[in-house]
Every structure is written in C-alpha cells, then in structure tokens.
Amino acid sequence: MPNENLPGPLTLGRHSFAVQQRLVMAIVNRTPDSFFDQGATWDESAAMDRVHAVVAEGADIVDIGGVAAAPGAAVGVAEEIHRTVPFVAAVRAAYPDLVISVDTWRHEVGREACLAGADLLNDTWGGQDPRLIAVAAQFGAGLVCAHAGPLAPQTRPFRVAYPDVMADVLDRTQGLAARAVAAGVPAGAILIDAAHDFGKNTWQSLEVTRRLGEMTATGWPVLVSLSNKDFIGETLDRPPGGRLTGTLAATAICAWLGARVFRVHQVQPAREVLAMVSAIRGEQPPARTVRGLA
Amino acid sequence: MIIAAALCPWPPLLVRELTGADAVLPELRAAAAEAVAAMLAPGPDVVAVVGPGPRTARWPGEGRLDVAAFGGWPGRSGDTSRPVLPPAAGIGAYLLDQAGYRGPRLVWSVSEEEPAPECARLGAGLATQGGPSQRTGLLVLGDGSARRGPRAPGYVDERAAAFDTAWQRAVRAGDLRALLGVDPALARELMATGRPGWQVLAGACPGPLRTVQVRYAGDPFGVMYLVASLVPAAP
C-alpha cells in the first residue's frame, strides 16, 4: 500500500506523472474481433496508423492487446505473442518515449512484450496467471491490478453476486498490489482497476463508478476502463457505436472522484473531458481566459 | 513634483495567472512592466497610484490587488494580510509589486462621477505633497472605451472611435490640458474608465512634457488600451 494512503507520482517507462495529471490510455487492438472496432486495426499498418493518430490526439499511453475480452475463438500463447510483440517493438522504434502497455493476463506474453519494450502490463483479468507479477518485477514494468470477480479470461459474468461489490474490488485489487510490491514490482508503477463489466453486471459497474472514491482513497493510482462498455450501453439502451456520450459522462465522474488513467477508444473527446474536469477541480488552468478580464 | 509618470490600462488579464495556460497579450503585459520600470528608474521618493474606483478616497499604501476576486487558482490569493484595494488601484499596486518597488505609496481611487476640476485638484495635490523637494512618481490606471466592436465587453457605440482618437491624440502630443475637456458623462456611457485618471494626470503635470513614449496602443478585445511613459520637463 502506498505510504499512509497518500497518492504519489506514477512512474511508467521514462515518465513520472504527477498526482493531478489525468492520463489517457488509448486502446490499440491487434484482434480481428474486439467489440468496438471489429478488427479495424487487425492489419498492422492500420494499427500503426492508429498509434500515430492517438499520439497526435494526446494519448499518454497506448494499450496493445491481442485477445478480445469477450468469448470467442481461443487465442493461444504463441498466437497472442505473434499478434502483439512485433507490434510493440515497432511502436517502441517509432516512439522511444511513449508509454506502451500490453493488455494480457499471460506471463509468457508479458515477458516477450517487456523484452520488446513494453512499460506496463495491463492484467485486466486480475491475476489469473500468478507468474505475471514476477515478469513485471523482473523487468521493472508497471502493473495494472484489476478486479475481474471470479471470472476466467474471455468469459462473461453469469449471475455474479457480491455482498458488497466495492469491498470485493478493494480487497482483490489491493491484495494484488500488495503481492506485486512484495514480489518487487516498483510501487510507483502499480495501478488498481475496478474493471467495469468484468465479472459485473450493469448495476455493479454503476456502483463501482459511484463509489470510485473508495478506490482513490487507498492512495493507489486508479485506472478506469469504461469506454463504450456494456454497462453504458445497458444504462442508455445504446449499441456499441452509440455510447460515446455515456462514456464521457462516466469519464467525467471518475475523473472527479480521482481516477488518474482512462483507457479509451476515442482519445480526443476524452482529453477534452479530462481537461474540463481538471479545470473545474482547479488542478489545471483553462487554455485561455479573456472573458470579463479584458 | 512629478518626476515621471506611467499611464496603463488595468484589464485583469495583466495578471498572468488569470489568463490560463495561454499568456494572452504578453506584449501588453511587457509594455506595462516597462512603463512602470521607466517611471521608477529615476528613483522617486514616493509613488502615487491613481485609478478609477467606487468613490474618491485614499487607500492604505500597503494595499494589494485581490486576485482571487477575479478567480484564478484556488489557494493562490497571495499575501492576505495586506488590505484589499479597488481593482484598478489594485492593478497599480500589483504592477509596483511586480517591479519590486518597496518604497512608500500614495494610493487613490477616483470616482467616475468626480468632476474634471476636482480631478485636476487632486493631481496638483499629489504633485506638491511632501514639499517642493519631494520627487514623486505617478502611476495612472485607465482604459479607453470598452464599446469598440461587436465582440467588445460593452458591444458597439459608434462614438467610441472618435472619443478614443481624441484622448489618445492629447496624450501622444503631450497636450494634457486637453484631457481636462473629456466629458465625464460621455466617458461613462462609453465605458471608458480612464477619464478621472487622465484628468488627475493633467492636474499633476500642468507644465510642458519633456518626453512621451507610447509603449502599447491597441484594442484586441474591444477595449482601448494605451500604455505610455510621460516625463515632465524640469521646472
């Protein structure tokens, strides 16, 4: 646990991010079947074009994933490495300073990704492979400690119930973070993530959003992955392509409650929402103020 | 006697922290700083600060600008032990603070209702206070019309351009006596805050000027800004 629950800087790759900075992590899928982009960046040149685009839009981190979260065709270790690792190397060559995250639960993939230049392992399935922590420790990489409930990777929640969902989230994510620190993962590079939709129905994802302040109060940097997810779709009765407004509303709430990293599909609107929240909170100045002051 | 004077507008955006990430008109800020520095250069014994205000009154010399009154950053209200001045005089104090001036200050606000002769009398009093050997610097705060275009704070008044041309011509020509003829009612209607200060300036510097240097003139936001340094001829 961070020192006396006081948040500190987040150190990823060559960067140290202050507590009040709100970071955008852009999703770059190396999959043919992810729910939102439907394989738009399955082609490697299209994926690299997306990296160029999200960097230009102000992304701080790219999160490269080779396996869709939803059930579907099984993707083996070798195939996941093939999808992600050469691409990590290519992005690292193109952007020596960019923070590169890899979305994987497998230690074999994490190891190869770190060798190729990844700075952060986004373990969205929340410690399914206990050896992933050791990989992060070995390479000094960061680690996202997520709460996926009782679920195995690539499964959907089925009648999942919690006496207190946030208590479960806090228990699981802080437990993973403590294990990571004990294993030697740099404490300043560990994040916790409630993992909206993962092992949660819509009510439960709404509740962890509403109670996100309980996560930020732990002092651990909080990552939220809200973008276009089903809890937004069910709340607003909108298909994946119609969830931007809901995504941005949830983004604003989480930012207000202290989340520091936002994993998104649409970088530019998220960047604007975060700038707005930071200005309202008095943590970042407006771009340019003249009204009433001339 | 007045040994040097500076005329500055007082938009709050002169305070860098109020304009956000963008510097907004750094050239205006620089011109104001230069005018104040030039006024301070000969080493006045005291600096008189005159700006428009809610009433004609003398204020504590140690008074400050209340930046927080305009917003800005939470928790950055500065030295709150100093009394708060009306905004125009406060900007004057702020400019002196920024210039590092630590000498005595005579701070006055002048009502927009104050008739020209009263303004001139106040100026004459500032010039002669402390006796004939006291060397006084004068910092006058005031803007031209704020009704110079559809985007201006006061929208459009067709009379604004001629009004601003006239008073600026008087300043540039060193013809301060002409400023005594500016109509207070018209100035109010045109949202020209400078009128009382110009007339204080005219009363304080009744003789010829040695130099007038205009450091900035423009209306980028529909308010006429003029920054000038004025040096009276030696008596």
- Say if residue B73's pLDDT is above 80: no
Q: Which residue has the higher pLDDT, A259 or A37?
A: A259
DSSP letter at B197 equals H
Mean pLDDT of B181-206: 97
| Mean pLDDT value across residues A106-133 | 96
CATH of the domain at A147: 3.20.20.20
A8 assigned to some structural domain = no
Domain range for A56: 17-280
| Contact check, Cβ <8 Å, B70/A290 | no
Three-state SS string over A204-260 comes to: HHHHHHHCHHHHHCCCCCEEEECCCCHHHHHHHCCCHHHCHHHHHHHHHHHHHCCCC
Number of structural domains (chain A) is: 1
Average pLDDT over residues A51-72: 94
ipTM for the whole complex: 0.83
**Are B20 and A286 in contact (CB < 8 Å)?**
yes
Q: Is the pLDDT of residue A2 over 80?
A: no
Nearest CB to A294 within list B71, B73, B221: B221
Which residue range forms the structural domain that includes residue B124?
2-232
Predicted confidence at residue B75, as pLDDT, reads 60
Pull the structure tokens for residue A8. Answer: 């500190």
What mean pLDDT, rounded, does chain B reach? Answer: 95
Dump pLDDT digits (tens) for B157-177: 999 999 999 999 999 999 999
Q: In CATH, what number is assigned to the domain containing residue B102?
A: 3.40.830.10
Q: Are A103 and A65 in contact (CB under 8 A)?
A: yes
| Contact state of A289 with B20 under an 8 Å Cβ cutoff | yes
Q: Which residues of B touch A282 (CB under 8 A)?
A: 73-75
Measured between beta carbons, which residues in chain B are less than 8 angstroms from residue A287?
Answer: 20-22
Candidates B17, B22, B74; nearest CB to A288: B22
Q: What total number of domains does chain B contain?
A: 1
Query: How far does B233 lie from chain A, in Å, by closest CA?
Result: 34
State percent of chain B over pLDDT 90.
89
Nearest to A8 by CA among A221, A274, A277: A221
- pLDDT tens digits along A148-178: 987 788 888 878 889 899 999 999 999 999 9
In a domain, A136, yes or no: yes
Inter-chain Cβ pairs, chain A and chain B, closer than 8 A: 44
Is the pTM of the predicted complex or chain greater than 0.80?
A: yes
Residue B36 has pLDDT above 90, yes or no: yes
The answer to whether the CB atoms of A289 and B19 lie below 8 A apart is yes
Task: Please state, in angstroms and rounded to a whole number, the distance separating the CA atoms of residues B70 and B12.
Answer: 7
**Which residues of chain A approach chain B closer than 8 Å at the C-beta?**
282, 285-290, 292-294
d(CA B98, CA B90): 12
So what's the pLDDT on residue B213? Answer: 98
Chain A residues closer than 8 Å to B21 by CB? 285-288
* B220 chain-A contacts, CB cut-off 8 A: 294
